[in-house]
Chain A
């Protein structure tokens, strides 16, 4: 029963990362949408103009330097995210999209433009982060000893691989957050979720 819990943890971590970086879906809101990585007003992406001002077909909801994030993209991601996490807000989804944009910009400096966004991000994280993460044997053993009670009588050799995978994903996630935090500090990011800047005539 306990070893099954570990399995679930590992699978969940892997899923969240995969979902975030492969499909771009905001499947990791607690971490990537957190206040630590930026904040945004909550609410719908209402058009900035009042009633009668016309129908807005699409508009910018945020930008990261010279990359725009559009209302249409946000709504599509938000709809997808709600299926996975019903309580998620647009602002949280937007933060994950900003993070993804930051990573994609780095990935695009290395990988050819013919490569898809998802593939470029996946390969970039593999190259930049995953390749450098090594879980020492002592950390696996330590985790096993601390959680032995939860894992029942499962012998170390049987759960070792799964613990290593879990710890590795956790470490990758931590380093990724650190890396994104660094990127955020250097980028000019603005969010126009509920309001637009004044337009000069």
Chain B
């Protein structure tokens, strides 16, 4: 009985197993075999072909999948088939496009340089190989050679596959048979007798030279430019012809003008020259001279000289026109009183947005602008019938012009009934909430347009890309009834995403920035946000997003990226009084393994320091957007007593740090780092030893949580915003540290643009530290030091605060520093920066003396680069003590704060 039961169970098991097998066989594909794929992964190809989806092998779906995969831009052939005798097995064969690995020019004879050929060949290295354009490329190069003076040139292009292991990379061999060149026997310049500017010298083609039309055209362009710079209004350099070795070039400089200005004070000669229309018009005529006078008159009105008059005298000497502008500037006027009649609104409110307000330079041209502004203002307030009369302008006193506006306000319109005819899936109530307009509100056409856009947005973000919203208005008794009617149209969803142009970057690095999933409602706003996120990765020069034509109310989206160069090298050198020479050399690569990982190494050196830092950054940690950073540092440093030049101590430090950062809000960032250092301090002056940890080898292990708030517009050269932060450094035996302490640093900086050339920057930093447990004094490498290029300029590096008996700074457990700078742009690249710095260091927190602050002021010079300024600062001590130097010079890279 038990055996029978067992037998039945086994039968049932095998039956179910068999049934399960049959069921899987009915699936579209149990196995997909791919041949020929090289550039992208198999998973991405299958995703694009849609072979895992339902009805994948339906003809329409299959065609759609192949077309979608082709959009990737790397394929020239795809076939999808079934294997006989292997049900459920799909075979995909692809042929990727060849890529041009290199182009070699094989010059058979004397002719143009390889550089010339390479620059003018239409195919480029690293591009895909367009076989159908190959003959055309050869023919085009032949034509180019003909233009360059080799009319019998022949070009043949052949394709080689130099590497059998990498068959998709090809080499183009361009064989060029230049043939004999055509040479110039004689150059003839014709047009006008003896044209000025020695055109023969500018064209500079002599008998025996190759008849190179590219070179000839360039020189004719130079000749034309020469004439234009000398006020020839329509010079002609060309056309040219070539026959029997004779090069004939037509040259005619044409008309020229000289303009002189008399009586001008408010406008300079250069400004007035810029107003003349002759060069643009290419002629000098009486009409153009009149136009020039009128333009000058308008320019004077803009300067508050409404009565300026311009008289002209024109004298012609052959092709030269001498034009004299006599200018009577008359008195300068400013706006005096601005009055209104017929208004119920307060006059100050109306004056607030007028260009011609009290004290402004009187420019009659702006009267019409102000009239239009008033009209718009009244319209915006619902006064649809308001009319603004011609302003009455009269002289109100010496140099003063009074303006009086007369206004007929008419009645004020308000919104009457607002009716809404919504379309599913949104209710009328939800649409009404988006409209936000209610009966009694002031009628304003802009508000109504905004309301319409809000409704459109509401539907669009739910996938209704074709939605239309119609607003009908009915006016009666100064009330406007509004009727909103929504036609939602069809609902569209996101289909598949096609990523194009990512040669280095892995597909998943791009895909993880997406905010949608397949089947989500299609929204342009989502697409725009995704585009922004991809830009912010810093991996791409351009990101373009487009939708493929819709199918089944679905949009496949194409993300076309152009990758930027991932590697960079940085270097810099400088000189400071303390460190003497100093410099750095850095290399970085920001797209390691195509995963948006940054790896960098930097070597800093000076007469006192050698420091090597290796850095690694991973923007996604364990599948989450949680940037992980790790760096290792090896440093050898000598600390000097600046005054005596004696070595205070030397140290060798090895540090490893790792941690994560999290963007908590748009501006707020949190981070936690664990740092482990081994520090060896030696050759230390006895006077600065405060604790046993100051000498010998010490292991310091600390955890460092921090919060940062950053609203700066540019981290390298901020012109506005706030930078604030707090960080705590906690070293403890719990983390295997040989010393225990806590360090807290708080900072706040504010940047405020005062004008286009002025930025006021202020900064304050406070640091407090305490030894914990058996540690009373912090080891010297962890104590605070101040003075120098990034703290209190005017004082040598790290020279402030408590000192040993011999005057060597020993650092402290508390500091305060504050800086104020007025960053002033003098040219596009050069800035000068007057600054005021204040700060000090105290041995312990209990010894802080708020009045014991050391001040310094000075002037800095900055040269702006894309990664911040190169700077030199000259600081002068304001509270100099006996024995201290008067000033200090610092050279550095980046702003002080």
Binding site for B on A (CB under 8 A): 47-49, 52-60, 63, 65-68, 70, 72-73, 108, 113-117, 120, 185, 187-190, 192, 196-201
Check if B67 sits within 8 Å of A68, measured CB to CB: yes
- Greatest chain B CB density within 10 A among A54, A116, A120 is at A54
- Greatest chain A CB density within 10 A among B36, B59, B81, B133 is at B81
Q: Select which of B35, B66, B133 is within 8 A of A68 by beta carbon.
A: B66
Check if B72 sits within 8 Å of A59, measured CB to CB: no
Check if B130 sits within 8 Å of A188, measured CB to CB: yes
Interface string of B492-510 (1 = CB under 8 A from A): 1000000010000000000
Check if A66 sits within 8 Å of B131, measured CB to CB: no
Could you say which residues of chain A place their CB within 8 Å of the CB of B57? 57
Could you say which residues of chain B place their CB within 8 Å of the CB of A187? 132
Could you say which residues of chain B place their CB within 8 Å of the CB of A185? 136
| Shortest Cβ distance from A114 into B: residue | B550
Q: Select which of A53, A57, A199 is within 8 A of B62 by beta carbon.
A: A57
Check if B550 sits within 8 Å of A113, measured CB to CB: yes
Q: Select which of B62, B79, B132, B555 is within 8 A of A113 by beta carbon.
A: B555
Check if A113 sits within 8 Å of B63, measured CB to CB: no
Which residues of chain B from 677 to 718 have a CB within 8 Å of any chain A CB? none
Could you say which residues of chain A place their CB within 8 Å of the CB of B91? 54
Provided the pairs A58-B63, A58-B66, A188-B130 are in contact, do residues A200 and B79 lie with their beta carbons within 8 angstroms? no
Q: Select which of B38, B59, B466 is within 8 A of A58 by beta carbon.
A: B59
Could you say which residues of chain A place their CB within 8 Å of the CB of B59? 57-58, 72
Q: Select which of B35, B76, B83, B94 is within 8 A of A63 by beta carbon.
A: B76
Binding site for A on B (CB under 8 A): 35-36, 38, 57, 59, 62-63, 66-67, 70-73, 75-84, 91, 93-95, 128, 130-133, 136, 167-168, 465-466, 490, 492, 500, 546-550, 555
Check if B555 sits within 8 Å of A199, measured CB to CB: no
| Shortest Cβ distance from B549 into A: residue | A113
Query: Could you pull out 15 A-B pairs where Cβ atoms are within 8 angstroms?
Result: A48-B79, A49-B81, A53-B81, A56-B81, A57-B57, A58-B59, A66-B70, A67-B71, A68-B67, A70-B63, A72-B62, A115-B549, A190-B131, A190-B132, A196-B93
Check if B35 sits within 8 Å of A201, measured CB to CB: yes
Provided the pairs A54-B91, A117-B549, A190-B76 are in contact, do residues A200 and B66 lie with their beta carbons within 8 angstroms? no
Provided the pairs A58-B59, A114-B492, A196-B95 are in contact, do residues A68 and B78 lie with their beta carbons within 8 angstroms? yes
Check if B66 sits within 8 Å of A113, measured CB to CB: no
Check if A72 sits within 8 Å of B63, measured CB to CB: yes
Cα–Cα distance between A115 and B465 once the two chains are bound (Å): 12
Q: Select which of A53, A59, A73, A192 is within 8 A of B80 by beta carbon.
A: A59
Check if A68 sits within 8 Å of B81, measured CB to CB: no
- Greatest chain A CB density within 10 A among B59, B84, B132, B465 is at B132
Pairs of residues from A and B, 3 with the lowest C-beta to C-beta distance, nearest first: A59-B79, A188-B130, A68-B70
- B interface SS class: mixed
Cα–Cα distance between A63 and B133 once the two chains are bound (Å): 13
| Shortest Cβ distance from A48 into B: residue | B79
Provided the pairs A70-B63, A113-B547 are in contact, do residues A197 and B72 lie with their beta carbons within 8 angstroms? no
In angstroms, how far is the closest chain A Cβ from the Cβ of B62?
A: 5
| Shortest Cβ distance from A188 into B: residue | B130
In angstroms, how far is the closest chain B Cβ from the Cβ of A97?
A: 13
Cα–Cα distance between A115 and B82 once the two chains are bound (Å): 35
Check if B466 sits within 8 Å of A114, measured CB to CB: yes
Could you say which residues of chain B place their CB within 8 Å of the CB of A115? 549
Cα–Cα distance between A4 and B76 once the two chains are bound (Å): 49
Could you say which residues of chain B place their CB within 8 Å of the CB of A59? 66, 77-81
| Shortest Cβ distance from B548 into A: residue | A113
Could you say which residues of chain B place their CB within 8 Å of the CB of A52? 84
Provided the pairs A113-B555, A188-B133, A190-B132 are in contact, do residues A200 and B168 lie with their beta carbons within 8 angstroms? yes
- Greatest chain B CB density within 10 A among A108, A120, A188 is at A188
Cα–Cα distance between A32 and B127 once the two chains are bound (Å): 30
Provided the pairs A113-B550, A114-B550, A190-B131 are in contact, do residues A197 and B77 lie with their beta carbons within 8 angstroms? yes
Q: Select which of A54, A65, A116, A197 is within 8 A of B82 by beta carbon.
A: A54
Could you say which residues of chain B place their CB within 8 Å of the CB of A58? 59, 62-63, 66, 79-80
Check if B93 sits within 8 Å of A199, measured CB to CB: yes
In angstroms, how far is the closest chain B Cβ from the Cβ of A74?
A: 11
Cα–Cα distance between A52 and B91 once the two chains are bound (Å): 13
- Greatest chain A CB density within 10 A among B66, B133, B466 is at B66
Cα–Cα distance between A73 and B84 once the two chains are bound (Å): 24
Q: Select which of A60, A120, A192, A199 is within 8 A of B70 by beta carbon.
A: A60
Provided the pairs A57-B81, A59-B78 are in contact, do residues A199 and B95 lie with their beta carbons within 8 angstroms? yes
Check if B84 sits within 8 Å of A55, measured CB to CB: yes
In angstroms, how far is the closest chain B Cβ from the Cβ of A86?
A: 25
Check if A108 sits within 8 Å of B66, measured CB to CB: no
Q: Select which of A108, A197, A200 is within 8 A of B38 by beta carbon.
A: A200
Check if A67 sits within 8 Å of B67, measured CB to CB: yes
Could you say which residues of chain A place their CB within 8 Å of the CB of B465? 114
Since A54-B91, A190-B76 are in contact, a sample of 20 more A-B pairs with Cβ atoms closer than 8 Å, ordered by chain A residue number, is A49-B81, A54-B82, A55-B84, A56-B80, A59-B66, A59-B80, A59-B81, A60-B66, A66-B70, A67-B67, A73-B63, A113-B550, A114-B550, A117-B549, A185-B136, A188-B128, A196-B93, A199-B35, A199-B93, A199-B95
- Greatest chain B CB density within 10 A among A53, A114, A117 is at A114
Could you say which residues of chain A place their CB within 8 Å of the CB of B75? 60, 63, 68
In angstroms, how far is the closest chain A Cβ from the Cβ of B38?
A: 7
| Shortest Cβ distance from B557 into A: residue | A113
Cα–Cα distance between A22 and B82 once the two chains are bound (Å): 35
Cα–Cα distance between A108 and B67 once the two chains are bound (Å): 15
Cα–Cα distance between A68 and B48 once the two chains are bound (Å): 14
| Shortest Cβ distance from A115 into B: residue | B549
Cα–Cα distance between A120 and B549 once the two chains are bound (Å): 10
In angstroms, how far is the closest chain B Cβ from the Cβ of A59?
A: 4
In angstroms, how far is the closest chain B Cβ from the Cβ of A69?
A: 9
Check if A54 sits within 8 Å of B78, measured CB to CB: no
Cα–Cα distance between A200 and B75 once the two chains are bound (Å): 13
Q: Select which of A68, A188, A196, A200 is within 8 A of B131 by beta carbon.
A: A188
Cα–Cα distance between A188 and B38 once the two chains are bound (Å): 21
In angstroms, how far is the closest chain B Cβ from the Cβ of A153?
A: 52
Could you say which residues of chain B place their CB within 8 Å of the CB of A200? 36, 38, 95, 167-168
Could you say which residues of chain B place their CB within 8 Å of the CB of A67? 67, 70-71
Could you say which residues of chain A place their CB within 8 Å of the CB of B500? 66
Cα–Cα distance between A188 and B70 once the two chains are bound (Å): 13
Cα–Cα distance between A60 and B81 once the two chains are bound (Å): 12
Could you say which residues of chain B place their CB within 8 Å of the CB of A68? 66-67, 70, 75, 78
Could you say which residues of chain A place their CB within 8 Å of the CB of B38? 200
Could you say which residues of chain B place their CB within 8 Å of the CB of A56? 79-81
Could you say which residues of chain B place their CB within 8 Å of the CB of A55? 81-82, 84
Provided the pairs A113-B549, A188-B130, A188-B133 are in contact, do residues A57 and B70 lie with their beta carbons within 8 angstroms? no
- Greatest chain B CB density within 10 A among A49, A70, A108, A192 is at A70
Check if A57 sits within 8 Å of B78, measured CB to CB: no
Could you say which residues of chain B place their CB within 8 Å of the CB of A120? 549
| Shortest Cβ distance from A56 into B: residue | B81
| Shortest Cβ distance from B83 into A: residue | A54
Cα–Cα distance between A67 and B62 once the two chains are bound (Å): 15
Provided the pairs A52-B84, A67-B70, A113-B555 are in contact, do residues A60 and B79 lie with their beta carbons within 8 angstroms? yes
Could you say which residues of chain B place their CB within 8 Å of the CB of A197? 76-77, 95
| Shortest Cβ distance from A111 into B: residue | B549
Cα–Cα distance between A53 and B82 once the two chains are bound (Å): 9
| Shortest Cβ distance from A70 into B: residue | B63
In angstroms, how far is the closest chain A Cβ from the Cβ of B46?
A: 15
Check if A196 sits within 8 Å of B549, measured CB to CB: no
In angstroms, how far is the closest chain A Cβ from the Cβ of B32?
A: 12
Could you say which residues of chain A place their CB within 8 Å of the CB of B95? 196-200
Could you say which residues of chain B place their CB within 8 Å of the CB of A108? 549
| Shortest Cβ distance from A73 into B: residue | B63
Check if A188 sits within 8 Å of B132, measured CB to CB: yes
Cα–Cα distance between A192 and B83 once the two chains are bound (Å): 22
Could you say which residues of chain A place their CB within 8 Å of the CB of B128? 188
| Shortest Cβ distance from A186 into B: residue | B133
